[in-house]
Amino acid sequence: MAKANYQGQVKHLSDRLIELQKPIRILDAIKWPARFERDFLASGGTSLPPADLRYYQGIDLGFDPDILRDRFLNLRGEVRRKLGRNDGLGGILCSTIDQYLLVIELLRTRGSADFGRYSQQLYGSARDHLRGDRKSLRQLGEKLCEIFSLPGAGHLTRPYEKNIPATEAVSILSQRLGQYFQPGDIRVILSDGIVSDAAAGGDYIKINQDVDFTEFDLQVLEVHEGWVHVGTTINGRRQPWASWLSVGSPRVTACQEGLAVLMETLTFSSYPRRALKVSDRVVAVDMAEQGADFIEVYRFFCERGLPPADSYKITQRVFRGGTLRGGSVFTKDLSYLRGFVENVNFIRSSIHSGVPEILPMLFVGKVTLDDIPVLYEHYLEGTIEGPHYIPAMFRDLNGLYVWFGFASGISVINMARVQKHFHKLFSDIPKVAPLYDKVIDSAVD
């Protein structure tokens, strides 16, 4: 097939995929209203939210599942006929279509035992093993919960208060993101219609008008929602042929969320409580998958020291769409930790394999790690356009190469022996208020 004809076919099929997926809104189809939280907390955490099968049946999907399923199946057949069964970009398109077919079944089964089965097919299970390792996500999540719950973690974040109102947060983020994006490419707006603190859309970030923020919160939103989620969307929209890279099915969720958490880390924007939240989500999913009900998971986090409102939020994220008795739950929150580990290992492997130049393709659009070699090949021949918005450390890879090169080398060291040596030094340190408080005070004076 001539190059121009091939590119035209990719564009036509991509645009059709974008059009078909438009009415699918997973989170809107399983969301809970704010009154559920108010009533639950008012009951002292004893009265289950009324999120049963009847409740979900009352939320209109905005599409006919059978009709949409048939249209996706027709598109999959057309992709195979026009691009061929062995075409790389065609394979990605078909895999994306298969994901949307699963999503239709996921939403069709809201509030039932089957919902959890489809969720596991889309997002995985907490008992899944990490790629290339024997440890499960739950085991890693527990280990990280332990690390981020150490006394020192609380000392570090104690001086940072939620004293930035939403209106000021909008102004600060608009100014900062204006230095990363071109004028008009992104908006930061107030919203009274979201449950979370903030949410990213195609070219905007919504800020909950009823929430106050810390400086750390704004740093996280800048790189997580702005650089990664909005940035990859805009990069996908700039594709001349592969327009589907601007939209994300669940198959890209782990790569997207993991990359966003990784960027928080590489820019030193994250903080222990934030990292603990990511780890807690894995534990919550596993408990619910293994049969703990809504109240049991909620009480578990209350007993761990989380405030009731925070315990509710982490619990409802897992139980939305499924059954409150446990077993059938929404496993999307595994994506943050799974994706972080997989992105780190992808970067390290690209360095060991001698192809670090492939790394900017992480930002080319909504992708999975397995897509990137195929996309890079088509980038070299001109069908895929390179990413326009790329964080500085991925534009000039020297520092990133050295960082991950050292990390890979140090990984061969026996950390148990190292910790044993330094533990002797640390064990005699007086347990007093952290010295940085005095440094901060003197700086303010």
pLDDT in tens, 364-387: 999 999 999 999 999 999 999 999
pLDDT for residue 265? 94
Tell me whether strands 204-208 and 198-200 are parallel, antiparallel or unpaired: antiparallel
Residue 144 Cα to chain centre, angstroms: 17
434 in the same domain as 304: no
How does residue 432 score in pLDDT terms, banded at 50, 70 and 90?
Answer: low
440 in the same domain as 358: no
Q: What is the CB neighbour count within 10 angstroms for residue 395?
A: 12
pLDDT above 90 for 435: no
pLDDT for residue 213? 93
375 in the same domain as 433: no
pLDDT for residue 206? 93
Distance CA 37, CA 270 (A): 27
Distance CA 270, CA 261 (A): 8
pLDDT above 70 for 399: yes
- Tokens standing for residue 421: 């040596």
Residue in the structure block whose two tokens are 């986090």:
301
pLDDT above 70 for 331: yes
- Tokens standing for residue 100: 């949307």
Look at residue 76 and give its three-state secondary structure. helix
355 in the same domain as 391: yes
pLDDT above 90 for 436: no
Domain tally for the chain?
A: 2
Higher pLDDT, 201 or 420: 201
Q: What is the pTM of this model?
A: 0.92
The torsion of the CA quartet 40, 44, 47, 52, rounded to 10 degrees, works out to 30
pLDDT above 90 for 194: no
Query: Quick check: is 251 in a domain?
Result: no
436 in the same domain as 319: no
Q: Are 148 and 272 in contact (CB under 8 A)?
A: yes
Q: What is the pLDDT of residues 267-284, one digit of tens each?
A: 999 888 889 899 999 999
pLDDT for residue 433? 56
pLDDT above 70 for 441: no
Distance CA 242, CA 13 (A): 9
Q: What is the pLDDT of residues 150-181, one digit of tens each?
A: 777 777 766 567 889 999 999 999 999 999 99
DSSP letter for 130, please: P
DSSP letter for 37, please: H
pLDDT above 90 for 195: no
Q: Are 416 and 410 in contact (CB under 8 A)?
A: no
Q: What is the pLDDT of residues 239-278, one digit of tens each?
A: 999 999 999 899 999 999 999 999 999 999 988 888 989 9
Query: Quick check: is 207 in a domain?
Result: no
136 in the same domain as 22: yes
Q: What is the pLDDT of residues 48-103, one digit of tens each?
A: 999 999 999 999 999 999 999 999 999 999 999 999 989 999 999 999 999 999 99
Residue among 324, 369, 344, 318 nearest 125 (CA): 318
| Owning domain of residue 92 | 3-155+270-409
12 in the same domain as 150: yes
Residue in the structure block whose two tokens are 């130049």:
357
Query: Quick check: is 379 in a domain?
Result: yes
How does residue 148 score in pLDDT terms, banded at 50, 70 and 90?
Answer: confident
Higher pLDDT, 420 or 255: 255
Q: What is the pLDDT of residues 74-89, one digit of tens each?
A: 999 999 999 998 999 9
Query: Quick check: is 105 in a domain?
Result: yes
157 phi, psi to nearest 5 deg: -100, 0
How does residue 442 score in pLDDT terms, banded at 50, 70 and 90?
Answer: very low
Query: Quick check: is 188 in a domain?
Result: no
Query: Quick check: is 255 in a domain?
Result: no
Distance CA 388, CA 281 (A): 33
**Of how many residues is the chain composed?**
445
Query: Quick check: is 57 in a domain?
Result: yes
382 in the same domain as 345: yes
Query: Quick check: is 348 in a domain?
Result: yes
- Tokens standing for residue 352: 């060991």
pLDDT for residue 131? 76
Distance CA 438, CA 429 (A): 18
- Tokens standing for residue 41: 């907390």
328 in the same domain as 417: no
Q: H-helix or E-strand containing 249?
A: none
11 in the same domain as 108: yes
430 in the same domain as 312: no
277 in the same domain as 128: yes
